[in-house]
Amino acid sequence: MESMILQLSYLIGSVTFIMGLKMLSHPDSARKGNLVAAAGMTIAIFATIFLYKHNGESLHNYLWIFGGLIIGTVVGTIAAKKVQMTAMPEMVSLFNGMGGACAMLISLVEYAKPEEKSTGMLVVIALGMMIGTVSFAGSMIAWGKLNGKIKDRTIPGGQLINFVLFGGLIILDSMVIMGLSAGNPMLFYGILILSALYGILFVMPIGGADMPVVISLLNSFTGVAAAFGGFLYDNPVMLTGGILVGSAGTILTILMCKAMNRSLKNVLIGSFGGAKAGAAAGNKDQGAYKEISLNDTATLMAYASKVMIIPGYGLAVAQAQHTCHELEKVLNEKGVEVLYGIHPVAGRMPGHMNVLLAEADVPYEKLLEMEDANDQMGGTNVVLILGANDVVNPAAKEDPASPIYGMPILEVEKADHVIVNKRSMKPGYAGIENELFFRPKSSMLFGDAKKVLQSLVTELKQM
Amino acid sequence: MEAIINLFTDAATYRLITIVILSIFLGIEVISRVPSVLHTPLMSGANAIHGVVIIGAIIVMGEAPSNDYVALTLGFLAVILGTLNVVGGFVVTDRMLEMFSKKKKK
């Protein structure tokens, strides 16, 4: 009877995960979907605590289990409630790393258990540990890079080291699969160490622009690690949950790669990043750019009939989303139509900009996806680019030599005027020059996005 | 080698493999229809769901002998980390989505 209830709870859990993911993919049902999945998770967790039996024996150590659950819940809730919306990507990366570490620890404890293990079990333990560890180490590096604690660093021969590490992991794993590991813990701890090194080194050289891809990839890794746990315990809910996230995360990763015109292979080997940046920059005749004053910008916008705002990471860094919404309202009062053009990879994660602007109460209908934004661009008088760079770089369309060639961009030059707000002339995260800034239609408005927007609002109110 | 052959001859394992393959297709099917607006909350929601690894941590913890302090400590740590992943993931996702629904009412 008890085992039937347990199995039923797991079935409910699996179904809620599928429903949750499905509902998360529609704006109207997304929030409910998240709650549905959370409810299913709760059921699965409590059913496990009270009903799980191994060889007829119930679980014990309840004090420890509940202690861990309570600590995790309190810390997790506080962290999630307190985090700034701009710091969301690194938070997701951090939580992802926790999941990876959890999988790693499970494998470690299972391996250390004195009981006899079949080769199949050892394989599952070893692979779960490897993927969990890579995900944990990688996520920590991604987290550190996103919040600026770790700088981009290219290690000489890094690619080669990564290949060797990866090869080493494959050899060690094959040895486990062939059944050579019996009574040899060195093999296991070797996998642990190589995985940790690989996780660190494979994320280390990847530049900021690729971070969303990496987090998404690591997210699916942790899913797969969780699924290995499902094999280990013959547990259907871990299996469904883990694999669902594994495959969904992979698809999301591929979609992101497509949006940035980068192959997954490039990201995986870690060949893209800091190294190319220096070479590509400064090899072009840059010409001159012109600056525009705040006053002129305000005038230009006040007399426009349609303004398109293109947000990028600069907006997130400056925390300028609320001021941006204020500018939108002031312009609306003057009869100017304001729309937002959202590039799928603007910011640090797909949809990052949407979340930020939603936080500032910008109406959903005003956020245009790239295709719609490009359609509307022709009738737009002023485009205001706020800290976006690579997503509006015309080289993606015109220069086959450019590393971002082929990436779909927001075609801002179809509009009458392009005003670019940036802090300096420094290239964006892909590390390449943006010719847009030197085009006749463009004018530069230097400064921190928030300060510039505040001044613009003041100027406009006085008009 | 024997391990690989076992995958297909053992009934229980075969069942698990079937679940894996069907889940892969399900995951692909569900995700490929998401508007890019929802990508961040979706990634975050998926992140919370793989926190299901917590169940493994609970089992490890609950099976650890009361005098095996290494297993107890590692298991305890695993439960905390797994819970962080689950609770943090769902709360963050809810916060993101709350903002979407708030404006919808206006």
Dmax of chain A from CA atoms? 81
Q: Which residues of A touch B8 (CB under 8 A)?
A: none
Pairing of strands A57-58, A337-342: unpaired
- Structure confidence at residue B102 (pLDDT): 55
- By Cβ distance, the residue of A76, A233, A252 closest to B87 is A76
Q: Is A234 a catalytic residue?
A: no
Q: Is B17 an 8 Å CB contact of chain A?
A: no
- Structure confidence at residue A183 (pLDDT): 62
- Structure confidence at residue A142 (pLDDT): 92
Query: What's the ipTM?
Result: 0.90
Residues B47-88: tens digit of each pLDDT:
999 999 999 999 999 999 888 899 999 999 999 999 999 999
Name the minimum distance, in Å, from the CA of B5 to any CA of chain A: 10
Task: Tell me which chain A residue has its CA closest to the CA of residue B31.
Answer: A248
Q: Which residues of B touch A237 (CB under 8 A)?
A: 52, 55
- By Cβ distance, the residue of A80, A98, A243 closest to B27 is A243
CB contacts < 8 A (A, B): 396
Q: Which residues of B touch A119 (CB under 8 A)?
A: 2-3, 6
- Structure confidence at residue A277 (pLDDT): 41
Name the minimum distance, in Å, from the CA of A39 to any CA of chain B: 10
Show Cβ contacts of residue A170 under 8 Å, excluding neighbours closer than 6 positions.
none
Q: Which of A390, A399, A416, A448 is catalytic?
A: A390
Task: Tell me which chain A residue has its CA closest to the CA of residue B51.
Answer: A99
> For residue A95, what are its two tokens?
């939580």
Indicate yes or no: CB of B24 within 8 angstroms of CB of A246. yes
CB A206, CB A267: distance < 8 Å:
yes
Q: Which residues of B touch A25 (CB under 8 A)?
A: 30-31, 33-35, 38, 42
Of the candidates A317, A313, A360, A308, the residue with the CA atom closest to the CA atom of residue A337: A308
Of the candidates B7, B66, B40, B41, the residue with the CA atom closest to the CA atom of residue A20: B41
Name the minimum distance, in Å, from the CA of B85 to any CA of chain A: 5
- By Cβ distance, the residue of A21, A102, A247 closest to B57 is A102
Q: Which residues of B touch A63 (CB under 8 A)?
A: none
Query: Which of residues A161 and B103 earns the better pLDDT score?
Result: A161
- By Cβ distance, the residue of A238, A241, A358 closest to B100 is A358
- Structure confidence at residue A263 (pLDDT): 74
Name the minimum distance, in Å, from the CA of B21 to any CA of chain A: 9
Terminal Cα-to-Cα distance of chain A (whole angstroms): 76
CA atoms of A381 and A415, how far apart (whole Å): 6
Indicate yes or no: CB of B51 within 8 angstroms of CB of A41. yes
CA atoms of A276 and A284, how far apart (whole Å): 15
Q: What is the mean pLDDT of each run of 10 residues along chain A (463 residues)?
A: 90 95 86 95 95 86 94 95 84 95 95 84 92 96 86 74 89 83 78 94 78 88 95 92 93 78 67 42 60 90 92 84 92 92 78 81 86 89 89 84 78 90 74 81 88 91 85
Q: Which residues of A touch B55 (CB under 8 A)?
A: 44-45, 48, 229, 233, 235, 237-238
CB A241, CB A172: distance < 8 Å:
no
- Structure confidence at residue A127 (pLDDT): 93
CA atoms of A299 and A20, how far apart (whole Å): 48
Task: Tell me which chain B residue has its CA closest to the CA of residue A111.
Answer: B71
Query: In Å, what is the CA distance from B35 to each residue of A72, A137, A354, B32?
Result: 32, 30, 11, 9
- Structure confidence at residue A435 (pLDDT): 83
> For residue A128, what are its two tokens?
């779960």
CA atoms of A165 and A197, how far apart (whole Å): 8
